[in-house]
A and B are shown apart, each in its own frame.
Chain A
Amino acid sequence: MRKIWLIIQREYLTRVRKKSFIIMTLLTPLLLAAFMILPGLLMTMSGDEETVMVLDESGLFEGKLEDKKDLKFVPIAGSLEQAKTLYQETDYTALLYIPKISIEDPKGITVYGKKNTSLQTQMRLENALEKEIENQRFMASGLDRETLDKIEANVKLNTINLSSEGEKDNNAMITSAAGVVAAIIIYFFIFLYGVQIMRGVIEEKTNRIVEVIISSVKPFQLMMGKIIGIAAVGLTQFLLWIVLSFVAVTAVSAAFGIDAAPTPMEQLEAGRVAAEGKSVDVINEEKGEATQAEADEFANTIQDVTQSFANLPLLLILGCFLFYFLGGYLLYGSLFGAIGAAVDNETDTQQFMMPITIPLVISFIMSYSVVLKNPDGPVAFWMSIIPFTSPIVMMVRVPFGVPAWELLLSMALLVLGFIFTTWLAARIYRVGILMYGKKINYKELSKWLFYRV
């Protein structure tokens, strides 16, 4: 055991100290933060105060166009030609010309700009005008805005799960997302770190150090030490990514004082505030132009999301994630190790990679196309039971609820599966690491299984 521990330490430390590891670990959260922050940042930047001159010949909008935080209206009088000259002398964003129109036929409204007027500005102006025209039409027909708001229906489906455990709120989107994200992480983890195992074995083989090592330790110890050491590297990286992403996003948001993409914590907070029926002015202020109604809706959505999260069996998902994460990695990791032992260099790995890649890719594709649509169908069932596909497919199913016996069966089979692949890999490994210069095919590999070493 002491020897395996030494091997694990070496595998772990040499990888964690690599520049590429440190850079990847630090860069990814920063990129993530940038992705979350950038859109908001750009918006506030382009959202520099815009001032629009308004020449209203119809008189319909006099005093009706409300100034907003970053959109101001300056009414002027005179002819269009005068207005144009005047506009040229200012640094206003645009000149809005409203000819003599009636609310029944609002045609001919024109925006003059110095450059091409941005789509955003155009839409905001259109919205403002539309709203005012609507208002006036309502007035004309004896309705006012308030009444209308009361009439306007906003239907949102509450999906409730009627199961033996009672009623549960269910939001298909969130449920799918939780499972799919977990499955994607497992998929990439298996590939990224499985290949690292393979490379590590090939490295030891081509460096010819393997004979020195296995005159001190058993090949199996060397293989397991490597697999476990690399798993620890992967877990470290994920853990650091989660912590650093959180720190980076929070830090950057704080630094720029923006709320472009609320972090989950903020969402939770917003949801809580809304849920307690308190004022949502905070959001309203931050959102600037958002109206009270919009803010309400926003808060409701957040509340929905958080509620859906709360209703997911989070502990179960987390537990399953860790189990299938490690189980899947161990199952495939030892096979990657066996491939590394069977070949002399990386270019020869192709033919042996196929049978490993195919079940992984298929389970990944099926997760999207079939399992997600019908999480209790036969395809989903079988793929979540068979050890080679279960780490990915079962993770997609778990948030939808899986009968306990299926889950236990799948887990038991996965454990048996990785014991089997580890045994298989160890048989190939012990022969392969001392075999040089021989082109290996499957027939040869199968013979190795029964070699007496």
Chain B
Amino acid sequence: MSILKIDGVSKRYANHTALDNVSFSIPAGCIFGLLGPNGAGKTSLIRIITQITGADEGEIYFRGERLKPDHIKEMGYLPEERGLYKKMKVGEQLLYLAQLKGLSKAEATARIKTWIDRFEIREWLGKNIEDLSKGMQQKVQFIATVLHEPSLIILDEPFSGFDPINANLIKDEILRLRDNGATIIFSTHRMESVEELCDHISLINRSKKVLDGPVREIKDAYKTDTFQIIGNGHLMITSPDFEVLEQHENHGVFRANVRILNQAKPNDLLRYLIDRVEVHSFVELVPSINDIFIRKVKETHHA
């Protein structure tokens, strides 16, 4: 069941089109990657989903219902440009933002307590935001995003500005939230950064959707049956079923990229190799999302 269905959404500004007839749906309970280069239209789409702006054409359905103001409290949005009131105390700020999302004061206070315990930041509560480091501010902002336990969490470039330790902390939190039933939308132009996290992706380029679906399926569709082999010996492939794309040799150690042709199986290649060389490593070369994106963009340009 999809939590969000985007149906033919277009958005035009005075002199450019931000979104052009974009459709896809986001399954509930997954981590969804909204990917594309800068200026592709990701933020425009997010602003339509969070009802900051409206679409010129098309509809968005939240749990099968047409998007309405009441849905806002079920969403948590961490914008790309982070910011909090600099001269407001951490505790007050979290309370204010949670109340704006419709939480009662008592409820918000209780949840703030759980979160500050989890992040071990009790001593920050009385501090002004401006007295915190940038990483600390990001943590506070992350808490503010999820405090009202939204069922849809939208994170725009979530890892920018986090050091690796905090980035991992946030990753763990995101997985935990997903396991608790929330759906997470990641929007980023750094596709490699979320590849391992996302279950589903949608690629957007120049206001158009290029591709979407489960990551595994996409990768399967774009895999090239190429394997990287590392081993000892002198590799000479003469079979018509295998094509050597690349080969290096150094001090008796070789490294080769080989593509399987004519419906041959990886095991056939392995068998062929074992008789000739000493195999140390045999890995399928799966295209990264980045590669797929570039290929796809090239295809559409040529088409």
Closest to B87 in A: A14
**Chain B residues whose C-beta falls within 8 Å of the C-beta of A10 in the assembled complex:** 96
**Chain A residues whose C-beta falls within 8 Å of the C-beta of B85 in the assembled complex:** 14, 203-204, 207, 209
Measured between C-beta atoms, what is the minimum distance from A249 to chain B in Å? 34
Partner of B84, one of A207, A215, A453: A207
Interface size on B, residues (CB 8 A): 28
Binds A, one of B20-28, B51-59, B177-185: B51-59
In the assembled complex, the Cα of A436 lies from the Cα of B52 at a distance in Å of 16
The binding surface of chain B is classed by DSSP as loop
Whether B56 and A452, one on each chain, are in contact in the complex, defined by CB atoms closer than 8 angstroms, is yes
Partner of A215, one of B72, B86, B99: B72
Partner of B100, one of A6, A207, A452, A453: A6
In the assembled complex, the Cα of A212 lies from the Cα of B53 at a distance in Å of 13
Q: Is A275 an interface residue (CB 8 A)?
A: no
**Chain B residues whose C-beta falls within 8 Å of the C-beta of A447 in the assembled complex:** 14
Q: Is A60 an interface residue (CB 8 A)?
A: no
Whether B97 and A216, one on each chain, are in contact in the complex, defined by CB atoms closer than 8 angstroms, is yes
Binding site for B on A (CB under 8 A): 3, 6-7, 10, 14, 203-204, 207-217, 434, 436, 447, 451-453
Partner of B53, one of A3, A209, A453: A453
In the assembled complex, the Cα of A436 lies from the Cα of B79 at a distance in Å of 14
Q: Is B191 an interface residue (CB 8 A)?
A: no
Give B236-282 interface residues, CB cut-off 8 Å to A: none
| Contact status of A14 and B88, CB under 8 A, knowing A209-B83, A212-B77, A212-B144 | yes
Partner of A213, one of B54, B56, B73, B100: B100
Whether A212 and B83, one on each chain, are in contact in the complex, defined by CB atoms closer than 8 angstroms, is yes
In the assembled complex, the Cα of A213 lies from the Cα of B50 at a distance in Å of 11
Whether B14 and A216, one on each chain, are in contact in the complex, defined by CB atoms closer than 8 angstroms, is no
Closest to A222 in B: B100
Q: Mark B68-103, 1 if CB is under 8 A from A, else 0.
A: 000011010101011111111000000011011100
In the assembled complex, the Cα of A209 lies from the Cα of B84 at a distance in Å of 5
**Chain A residues whose C-beta falls within 8 Å of the C-beta of B54 in the assembled complex:** 452-453
Measured between C-beta atoms, what is the minimum distance from B250 to chain A in Å? 51
**Chain B residues whose C-beta falls within 8 Å of the C-beta of A203 in the assembled complex:** 85-86
Whether B83 and A216, one on each chain, are in contact in the complex, defined by CB atoms closer than 8 angstroms, is no
In the assembled complex, the Cα of A203 lies from the Cα of B97 at a distance in Å of 17
**Chain A residues whose C-beta falls within 8 Å of the C-beta of B79 in the assembled complex:** 208, 211-212, 215
Partner of A434, one of B51, B52, B144: B52
**Chain B residues whose C-beta falls within 8 Å of the C-beta of A211 in the assembled complex:** 52, 77, 79, 81, 83
Partner of A216, one of B82, B87, B101: B101
| Contact status of A216 and B86, CB under 8 A, knowing A211-B52, A453-B54 | no
